């Protein structure tokens, strides 16, 4: 199933995408508050969804606004340097990754929808994109072995791990440079795990204004998804709806020669085979004064 969170006539809804329509299950008896709550019900939740979609009204996708499928997860984690091609271009720029998995936090407040505008910060000229496969956790879990990780994965999304390079590199935690408001678009929906035969065999491509910038395959990942789940759950509990961004291949604008950072008006599209595409237009960061 393609599980979606969307806005229609001002209301936030959930449903299942089929072709050019979405089955709106929001008003069905027993409907959860959102997809995170649905995932927390485990296999029962997915069975409920399969039944509910049969009895639900259809809306054309063109008439709804797709949102991030999990608008408010408890965690949004990113793995750095998980493609050899990206490590090689980073090394040329003098950036050397330590051994092992290097994880950072994207603050969940940076999440935006798959077609929402994203902000070019006014404090930086180094706004960049990173097309990535996103993993959505489906079950509360701790101490998961890599070979058992499939059982805790709900499905997959397309992520743009947008990054403000100068702010990212000023601190080893990367937290600020990875977490500007709007810099975590993902979607366009959550494709459940049963529909993806092998998440390590998907083409992943990123375009800026129609120009192909990243062209890779998830087979190139250095650390596999099972190893990621094992590493993270060695330290802490993962919850239903948690989002893992699994790293980006070569072709980020900041590592081109000369660098080509994003400007207002640019449109970034990230597409992953068997999942879909997200597309975000860059706009100047609006200035908000506190009351």
Residue 160 in the binding site for Mg ion (CB under 5 A): no
Contact 204, 246 (CB under 8 A): no
78 versus 185: smaller Cβ distance to Mg ion: 78
**CB nearer Mg ion, residue 24 or residue 132:** 132
- Least distance CB 86 / Mg ion (angstroms): 9
| Contact characters 72-101, Mg ion, x per CB under 5 A | ------x-----------------------
Tokens of 252: 């980020």
At its nearest, how many Å lie between Mg ion and the CB of residue 129? 10
Q: How far is the CB of 47 from Mg ion (least distance, A)?
A: 34
| Range 224-227 contact pairs with CB under 8 angstroms and sequence separation of 24 or more | 224/146, 224/200, 225/135, 225/149, 225/153, 225/199, 225/200, 226/145, 226/146, 226/147, 226/148, 226/149, 226/150, 227/101, 227/146
Indicate the residue whose CB is closest to Mg ion.
161
Note whether 116 binds Mg ion by CB under 5 A.
Answer: no
Q: Which stretch binds Mg ion (CB under 5 A): 9-17, 32-40, 42-50, 247-255?
A: 247-255
The answer to the question of residue 130 lying near Mg ion (CB under 5 A) is yes
In the complex, least distance from residue 39 CB atom to Mg ion, rounded to whole angstroms: 23
What are the DSSP calls for 167-193, one per residue?
HHHTSTT-TTTT-STT-EEEEEEEEEG
For residue 116, the minimal CB distance to Mg ion (Å) is 19
Other CB atoms within 10 A of residue 110 CB: 20
Q: How far is the CB of 246 from Mg ion (least distance, A)?
A: 8
Backbone angles phi, psi at 280, to 5 degrees: -130, 130
Tell me the closest approach of the beta carbon of residue 254 to Mg ion, in angstroms: 12
Angle at 15 (CA atoms; ends 14, 16), nearest 5 degrees: 150
Compare residues 240 and 249 and give the one whose CB is closer to Mg ion: 249
Would you count residue 233 as binding Mg ion (CB under 5 A)?
no
285 is an interface residue for Mg ion by CB under 5 A: no
Helices within 95-224 (DSSP H only) = 165-169
**Only segment of 66-74, 135-143, 161-169, 276-284 that touches Mg ion (CB under 5 A):** 161-169
Please give the Cα distance from 236 to 252 (Å, whole number). 30
C-alpha to C-alpha distance for 262 and 208, rounded to whole angstroms: 8
Binder among 182, 206, 218, 248 for Mg ion (CB under 5 A): 248
Rule CB under 5 A: is residue 161 a binding residue for Mg ion? yes
Q: If you write DSSP's letter for every residue of 52-81 in order, what string do you get?
A: HHHTS-EEEGGGSEEE-SSSS-S-EEEEES
Residue entry with tokens 């407040």: 109
Residue closer to Mg ion, measured from CB, 24 or 130: 130
Residues constituting the chain: 291
- Count Cα atoms within 13 angstroms, Cβ side, for 113: 12
How many residues make contact with Mg ion (CB under 5 A)? 4
Q: Give the binding site for Mg ion (CB under 5 A).
A: 78, 130, 161, 248
């Amino acid at each position: 199933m393609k599980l979606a969170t969307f806005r229609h006539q001002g209301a936030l809804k959930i449903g299942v995408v089929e072709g050019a329509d979405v089955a709106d299950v929001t008003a069905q008896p027993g409907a959860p508050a959102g997809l995170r709550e649905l995932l927390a019900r485990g296999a029962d939740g997915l069975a409920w969804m399969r039944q509910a979609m049969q009895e639900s009204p259809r809306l054309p996708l063109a008439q709804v606004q797709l949102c991030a499928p999990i608008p408010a997860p408890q965690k949004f984690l990113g793995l750095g340097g998980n493609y050899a091609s990206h490590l090689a271009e980073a090394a040329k720029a003098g950036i050397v990754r330590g051994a092992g998995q290097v994880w950072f936090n994207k603050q969940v407040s940076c999440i935006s929808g798959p077609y929402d505008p994203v902000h070019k910060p006014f404090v930086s000229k180094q706004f960049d994109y990173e097309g990535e496969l996103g993993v959505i956790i489906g079950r509360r879990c701790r101490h998961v072995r890599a070979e058992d990780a499939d059982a805790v994965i709900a499905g997959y999304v397309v992520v743009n791990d947008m990054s403000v390079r100068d702010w990212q590199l000023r601190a080893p935690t990367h937290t600020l440079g990875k977490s500007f408001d709007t810099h975590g678009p993902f979607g366009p929906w959550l494709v459940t795990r049963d529909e993806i035969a092998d998440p390590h065999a998907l083409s992943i491509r990123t375009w800026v204004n129609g120009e192909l910038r990243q062209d890779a395959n998830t087979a190139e990942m250095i650390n596999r998804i099972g190893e990621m789940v094992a590493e993270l759950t060695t330290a802490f509990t993962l919850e239903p709806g948690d989002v893992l961004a699994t790293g980006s291949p070569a072709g980020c604008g900041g590592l081109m020669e000369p660098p080509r950072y994003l400007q207002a008006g640019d449109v970034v599209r990230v597409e992953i085979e068997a999942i879909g595409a997200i597309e975000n237009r860059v706009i100047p960061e609006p200035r908000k004064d506190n009351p």
